[in-house]
Structure 1
Amino acid sequence: TYRLAGISELKCKEIETEVEILLTVDHPNLARMVDAYETKASLTLVMELLEGGELFDRILAAGHFTERNAAEAIWQMLLAIRYLHGLGIVHRDVKLENWLYEKKGGQDLKLIDFGLSKFWRPDKSMEMR
């Protein structure tokens, strides 16, 4: 949920971009936006329920990953990133905490948190603010 009162024009633009990206993408390894609700005071993005926890936490709990499990996770990550880049989208916050498992004990990973994401064009430079 974003509180809209008093936010800067820049933050408004970032939120618009996040929503536009979420409406654009459709990939099994990307979290899906189910709905959005806007009032004068706030904007709420309803995302699909991912119950399996963070990749980061699963690695810590296990103490290690087998090569097979690591390869499976990395493969899914690369598929998602390749898909985004193919659409001209850069995530800009890819980290273990932003990969969630769909179900407890499951192996299907999804990338979340598109708040820093941008549409990328080769003729335009990109900066983090």
Structure 2
Amino acid sequence: MLKYTEDHEWLKQDGEEIVVGITAHASEQLGDVVFIDLPEVGREVEAGEEIVVIESVKAASDISAPIAGVITAVNEALSDTPGQVNDDAMAAWFFRIKPAAGTDLSGFLDDAGYQALIG
């Protein structure tokens, strides 16, 4: 089941990890993505900490960690071909994170809540 942030990130539970990317809406707003700087594997992050830089032909944006935890993997393919985000934002995940103890995803938006947010 997917969850969403108000900052247009999607989160998907995969075993003990959470996979994180940006939504198709965010991808459309950014335009053609030309560069993505991903966090280092093993980095411990706090919720709200800016950990990804994404640049498009329109703007540069920071993506924050939606939850606290440790980065367990990054999608290296995005470094070489950042346009994958425009091709299929839901398949072009950015990083996997092992959540800190006690992390609860229930406070994030479900699909209906996210659709209401983007109108």
TM-score (normalizing by structure 2): 0.28
Higher strand share: 2
TM-score (normalizing by structure 1): 0.26
Larger Rg: 1
